[in-house]
Amino acid sequence: MAEPEFSATGVRIARWLRSLTRAGQVVVRDGRLVLLTSYGREIDSAPVDQVRVSGPWYAAQDRVMATINGNRYALRLKGHVRDGLVTALRRARTRGSGIAAERRTAPR
């Protein structure tokens, strides 16, 4: 398995008012964003081009709202790693779009 482009542990993951885990993990690997519980069980995942991530203007730098497969998750990252997550998603999207462009233009 490839090395992850981004990994954050100790992430509090909630869906609306329900806390799913207080020590989860967020991983961007192989063009996918994956949310994991503290036991390593997958909560949700999707290709990075289908994921929307935003930082609420009213929240601190450690909070992120992520929409994955139509489900909204509130992520509370330790420290100020929100920018790292956004950067990793952008890189994975451009890498994925570059591969898709190569496939479309490759001779058959």
- Helix or strand holding residue 93 (H, E): helix 82-105
Question: Is residue 29 included in any domain, yes or no?
Answer: yes
pLDDT for residue 48: 95
pLDDT tens sequence across 51-79 = 999 887 777 778 899 999 999 999 999 87
Q: Is residue 22 part of a domain?
A: yes
Query: Per-residue pLDDT tens for 17-62?
Result: 899 999 999 999 999 999 999 999 999 999 999 999 988 777 777 8
The pLDDT of residue 105 is above 70: no
Is 87 a member of any domain?
yes
Residue 59 domain boundaries: 6-102
* Contact by Cβ (8 Å): 37, 21: yes
CATH number at residue 30: 2.30.29.30
Q: What pLDDT score does 108 carry?
A: 53
pLDDT band at 97 (very low <50, low <70, confident <90, very high): low
- What is the total count of domains within the chain? 1
Return the DSSP state at 59. Answer: S
Give every CB contact of residue 90 below 8 A, 6+ residues apart in sequence. none
CA torsion through residues 15, 18, 19, 20, sign: negative
pLDDT of residue 24: 96
Q: Considering the domain boundaries, does residue 34 fall inside one?
A: yes
The pTM assigned to this predicted structure is 0.84
Residue 36, classed as helix, strand or coil, is: strand
Residue 107 domain-assigned (yes or no): no
Q: How many CB atoms lie within 10 A of CB 52?
A: 11
So what's the pLDDT on residue 50? 94
